[in-house]
Amino acid sequence: MKKPSDSTQHQQKMSKVKLQIDRQIAKADKDQGVCVLLTGNGKGKSSSAFGMLARSLGYGHNCAVVQFIKGDWECGEELFFSQHPKVSYHAMGAGFTWETQNQSADQAAAEKAWGLAASLLADSKIDFLILDELTYMFSHGWLDLDKVIQAIQNRPSQMNLVITGRGAPEGLITACDTVSHIKDIKHAFRSGIKAQRGIEF
Ligand code: ATP
Ligand code: MG
C-alpha cells in the first residue's frame, strides 16, 4: 500500500507532466501532412507503414502504395490492402532482385516505379502514400536523390507520406519530418526458424 504522501507526490509530478504535454500540444499548431521515414536493419519498417495505412483507412482516407522491391512472392499486406476500394496498390519492381543481376533491367524497373510514385506524389486526391523500400533505389544508384526529395517537398501539403527501407541516405533523413531507425537485436531467421505467414510476409 502506498502512503498518502506518496500519492500526493505522484499527483504533483503528474500534473507537472500534464502541464508540459499540454504546452507541447498547444505549440504544435501546424496542420500539415508529414513525411515519415522508417529505416535501420531491424524488422518492423514495412509492417509499421502498413499499420499507418490501416489507421488512415479507418478515417476513410484515399490511400496509395508503391512497393519498389517486390518479386512475385505473395505477401499478406498485398492480399489484404489491394482489395480495399480506397487503396491504389502497385507492387512494382518484379524485375529487380538479386536473382536477376541485370543492371539495365533494374534501372528501367526503378524508373518505371518512380514515374508512378511521382504522379501519386503530385496527386492532391491522395491523402496517404507509402513508398515501400524506396531507399534501395539510392543505394544502387538507380534514382537521383535530389529529384526524389524535390518531389517529396512539392507534394500537396496535406498528404501524409511513409517511406521505408534500410540505409536511408542523409539527405532523405533531413527531408523527412519523423525518422525512426529500427535496430536489429535478434531475428528468428538467424536461429533457423522459417519465415512465418502474417509475421514476415
Ligand atoms: P517487415 O515487413 O516485417 O516490417 P522490414 O520492412 O522492417 O520488415 P525488410 O528489410 O523490408 O524489413 O525485410 C523484409 C523481410 O525480411 C520481412 O520478411 C522481415 O521479417 C525480414 N527481416 C527484416 N529484418 C530482418 C533481419 N534483421 N533479419 C532477418 N530477416 C529480417
Ligand atoms: Mg520492408
Ligand 1 atom 13: residue of nearest CA: 43
Residues 6+ apart with CB under 8 A from 178: 34, 35, 36, 37
94-109 per-position pLDDT tens digit = 555 555 667 788 888 8
Please give the DSSP secondary-structure letter assigned to residue 191: G
Residue 99: strand, helix, or coil:
coil
Band (1; pLDDT cuts 50, 70, 90) = low
Ligand nearest to the CA of 40: 1
Ligand nearest to the CA of 131: 2
Separation of alpha carbons 50 and 38, rounded Å: 12
CB of 131 closer than 8 Å to CB of 5 = no
Please give the DSSP secondary-structure letter assigned to residue 190: G
Ligand 1 atom 19: residue of nearest CA: 200
Q: pTM score, two decimals? A: 0.88
Domains and CATH numbers, the chain: 32-153+173-182 (3.40.50.300)
Q: Which of 43, 47, 134, 182 to mutate to test the pocket of ligand 1 (most atoms within 8 A of CB)?
A: 43
Q: Where are the beta strands (DSSP E) in the chain?
A: 35-39, 63-67, 87-91, 128-132, 160-164, 178-181
